[in-house]
Amino acid sequence: MLNSLVDTRDLKFVLFEVLKIQSLAQYKDFSDYDMESIEALIDLVEKISVNEFQKTFEAADREACTWDPVTKKVTAPQSLKPALDTYYEAGLMSLLMLESADGSQLPPRSAGAASLEYICAAAPNLMMYTILSAGVINLIKEFGTEEQQKLYLPGLISGQWGGTMCLTEADAGSDVGNLKAKAVKQDDGTYLITGQKIFISSGDNDLYSNMIHPVLARIEGDPAGTKGISIFLVPKYLIKEDGSNGDFNDVICAGIEHKLGIKGSATCTMVFGENNNCRGYLLGSERKGMKIMFQMMNTIRLGTALQAQGTSSAAYLNAVTYAKNRIQGSHVLNAMNPEAPKTEIINHPDVSRMLLWMKSYVDAQRIMINYNYFNQDLAKVLDGEERENAESVIELLVPLCKAGCSDTSILITSEAMQVFGGYGFCMDYPVEQFYRNCRILSIFEGANGIQAIDLIMRKILLNKDQKGYKTWKGVVEKTLDKAQDIVTDKYINHVRDGIENLDMVINKMKKRMEEGRILEIFTHATPFLRGFYILVLAWCHIWSMTEAIPCLEKIQKKNEGMDIKSLCSSDSESAFYAGRIQSGKFFIESQLPLFFAIAESIMNADSAALSVLPEMFTGAPEE
């Protein structure tokens, strides 16, 4: 099925020809999922996304969420309810779950995540509700008591109830340890919760009959900072023993934000215990709140990368369709001929360059993201050092996926708008909404500056054995070795040089840390992440080209005498593999050089950002 969301042929290429996830069927945990069953899953999600979910894209944006200041109730766009029902009826919640509640076999995470790219592209508002609910399910499944699992999971899995993630406060955004939410233990073992949380996605709505809020709070008397934080399950309505909703639990929405995009998902200010009657139930152990919440955060951060990828993919495909059909101007070689026929804008060199630029990022990101999910599958079925290797690579790549893909989605959607010209700036086409929707992704679920600091400090400099980085480098070396005699040497050598330069940068940063030059490391954290991300994508392109080149050569051998242009015009598989190869060549020759420039800037240790004074910035006085 051709669609404007995700290139299905490319998605299957990544899963089955690059990652070869069908090999997971050899393990008991995934024995029900061979290549045929995974393809069926992907085709089902594609069909539902195109025929059902995509209807909500514009409708939910135009209608948006509303909040009644009298009743304190939030109303979601009407278009979302049937879509949400379809989502649960089709069993798609299983694509986000880490473990089934009833012991049944779930599809591989890599297959589920790949399928979700369609939904991220078609219905970003819908994804906001479901991805958070899945996060709560996974938390309760892993850390909840048997009683909590029996009480909460059925309603969450069936879609009767929804979930959120309540971390942020007015004075405790990225600085979570400064939170003010308080928990007071009661004689019956419950806690009275008081406090306010802001920017809570899907915090209240009329799509679910109850909302289950995991809330970070400090138990009265516990120490300051993150070490004193616990996490509590706080339902909007208390739950009776039979699983039905009981009394109101003193949880209200005090207002919703008026946002740039993703308007069908209410971003709420939530007030807990306004009347000192909000009951919370400890999840896990006291003072382990941050550790527990980070399990959900990592899941959501990879989900954010998927949202960015889905939006980027849809923006790129819409731009391609427009460029193939929009006729304007004559070909540049006929520019001086007033009688020359007009041509589709895709034939103009600059437009072709823009499209190939978008494609090169979308193609490589699809491998990077799904490779990380594939490692989650491997971590589930492997043991010992192999499992540790898979887990270490996941840890390393999470910030690169979240920050890299979300930052780039802003650029890709902007470039897509440029292809549309003035029409792209108008609401006649979806590209302006892609741009608005994706802008939040680099901010929420841990702003990208935090991701960069996490990468360079916790994942590399403070990690003595650097297992994740060393394991990833080993995988890259195997890729480059396999590419020999298949991919042209210059592309392989560019990536090898990149790895050497990355090692030099890391060693330089180690030295700065030993010398106590911590501020320099923090100043260069974001450039470091951006450069590392580009290098990872270049590696993904080498991997892709290694699989695509032999396939194209095989087709060419069967069609001797046909040039590549004729072959691509008559055979879609030839066009696909040739496009993948061109995408890789373009990225390595035009984008990978950016990594070397970033590496040089870090090595030069520019200190201007450290010596600049607040007075040097001109700003209007506060009113």
Residues marked active site are found at: 445
Are 527 and 563 within 8 A, CB to CB?
no
Token output for 344: 């589709």
472 Cβ contact list (under 8 Å, min separation 6): 393, 396, 397
Are 158 and 114 within 8 A, CB to CB?
no
Q: Which helix (H) or strand (E) holds 211?
A: strand 210-219
Token output for 493: 């050598």
What CA–CA distance (Å, rounded) separates 481 from 492? 9
Burial label for 421, CB within 10 Å (0-12, 13-18, 19+), is middle
What CA–CA distance (Å, rounded) separates 567 from 573? 9
What CA–CA distance (Å, rounded) separates 139 from 101? 12
Beta strands 161-163; 210-219: pairing state: parallel
Backbone phi, then psi, for 210, in 5-degree steps?
A: -155, 150
Q: Which helix (H) or strand (E) holds 195?
A: strand 191-201
DSSP3 helix / strand / coil % (the chain, rounded to 5): 65, 10, 25
Count each helix (H run) and each strand (E run) in the chain, helices first.
Answer: 20, 14
Handedness of CA 594, 596, 599, 601 (dihedral sign): negative
